[in-house]
C-alpha cells in the first residue's frame, strides 16, 4: 500500500503539532520511520499484563497476551489487538523488502512485521515494534 492508497488518518496533525506532542526521539521513530537501537527499549523484556497503545495518539495496538520473547532486541507480538489496529505497507528502504507497521489511527510508524521465521506462535508472524512507539497501560491489579 502506498501513501496515496492509505485511508485518511483519524488523527491528523502538522509536523509542528507532532513535534510539540512528542519528544525528539519519539518524533524520529513515529513520524520519520526511524528505529531505536536494539535491546535499549523499555518494553523489550517487559512481561507486565496490559495494553500497548500508540504513543502518538493513544490507540490500542497490541495486548500483552500476544507478546512473546523473540530475543531480537525489540518487543515482539504475534498479532495486533484487532485487525483494524494497524496498517501494513510495503517498505523497500535500506535495500530490503519489508512490511512496515503503521498505527491505523494516526499513521505513525511502529516497526515491521516478519513471517515464516519459525517462532512457535499461532500466526507465525513477528511484529517487531519499537518500544518508543508504544505506551503500556498496565492491567488493573
**Rounded to whole angstroms, how far apart are CA atoms 60 and 17?**
21
Catalytically active residues are 128
15-37 in b/e form (b: 16+ CB < 10 A) is eeebeeebeeebbbbbbebebbe
CB 33 within 8 A of CB 79: no
Amino acid at each position: 500500500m502506498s501513501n496515496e492508497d492509505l485511508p485518511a488518518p483519524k488523527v491528523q496533525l502538522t509536523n509542528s503539532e507532532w513535534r510539540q506532542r512528542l519528544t525528539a526521539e519519539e518524533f524520529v521513530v513515529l513520524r520519520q520511520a526511524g528505529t531505536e537501537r536494539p535491546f535499549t527499549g523499555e518494553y523489550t523484556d517487559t512481561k507486565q499484563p496490559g495494553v500497548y497503545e500508540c504513543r502518538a495518539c493513544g490507540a490500542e495496538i497490541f495486548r500483552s497476551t500476544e507478546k512473546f520473547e523473540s530475543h531480537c532486541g525489540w518487543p515482539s507480538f504475534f498479532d495486533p489487538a484487532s485487525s483494524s489496529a494497524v496498517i501494513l505497507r510495503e517498505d523497500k528502504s535500506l535495500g530490503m523488502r519489508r512490511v512496515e507497521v503503521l498505527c491505523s489511527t494516526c499513521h505513525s510508524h511502529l516497526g515491521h512485521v516478519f513471517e515464516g521465521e519459525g517462532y512457535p506462535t499461532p500466526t507465525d508472524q513477528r511484529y517487531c515494534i519499537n518500544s518508543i512507539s508504544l505506551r503500556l497501560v498496565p492491567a488493573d491489579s
